[in-house]
Amino acid sequence: MALIEYLERDDWREALRRNFEGAIALLQTDRFGRCSSAVDDMKSWLALGGVSRVQLQLDRQMEGRRLAVERQREIRDFLEQLVLENQSPLLQLIDDGIIPWNQADFLVTMGISEAQFDAMWEHISASGNFFETWMLANGYSQDRINQIYQIIDRWLVKAGLNLDTHPEEPTWN
């Protein structure tokens, strides 16, 4: 059964959680392993374009099936919740290169709005460390922060950006 068919049922939350978390588990362990068509949809969307691809495909399918506007909103909200609940494995999949990096996915996964990110970037550009301060204030461990910095650094290198490093400042990444 396709994922959209599950989302038309009364128990759609359970189905969306099961398929989203099942796709993450397979991407972590056996990317090309056999699975249901609903998990396979989710797995391929994540691997092709991350969370933003999942959102796009769900939006297209919900419109195509003419799901009620309220149900569509509930599904989007629940997906956002699932992303935050599964933040650690999603970040690891981005770090491993299984889910492609893009700023929109990173922001959704981190639960940060674009405006918050822009404000953080301005502060960082002015030699501040607002991002790390915000992360620590929101309960992120230093290990998690370091992992996020590594993901960002790899993306910056891949994107062709080369920021000056400051070896005298150990928290500057």
Query: What contacts 23, CB < 8 A, 6 or more positions away?
Result: 35, 39, 42, 43, 46
Q: Please, how many CA atoms are within 13 Å of residue 170, restricted to the half-sphere of its CB? A: 1
Query: Lowest mean pLDDT: which of 11-20, 55-64, 138-147?
Result: 138-147
Q: How many residues does the chain have?
A: 173
Tokens 């993450």 correspond to 24
Q: Cα torsion for 49, 25, 112, 16, to the nearest 10°?
A: 80
| pLDDT at site 167 | 46
pLDDT greater than 60 at residue 166: no
140: its two tokens:
């992120």
157: its two tokens:
């290198």
| pLDDT at site 133 | 78
Instruction: Please classify residue 159 by burial: count the beta carbons closer than 10 Å to its beta carbon, then call 0-12 exposed, 13-18 middle and 19+ buried.
Output: exposed
Instruction: Please classify residue 139 by burial: count the beta carbons closer than 10 Å to its beta carbon, then call 0-12 exposed, 13-18 middle and 19+ buried.
Output: exposed
pLDDT tens, residue by residue, 75-121:
999 999 999 899 889 988 988 888 887 777 777 777 778 888 787 77
Helix (H, G, I), strand (E, B) or coil at 114: helix
> What is the average pLDDT score of the chain?
82
Mean pLDDT of 44-66: 90
Distance (Å, rounded) from C-alpha 143 to C-alpha 150? Answer: 11
pLDDT greater than 80 at residue 168: no
Q: Over the range 7-36, which residues count as b (16 or more CB within 10 Å of their CB) and which as e?
A: beeeebbebbbbbbbbbbbbbeeeeeeebe
pLDDT greater than 50 at residue 173: no
State the pTM of this model. 0.67
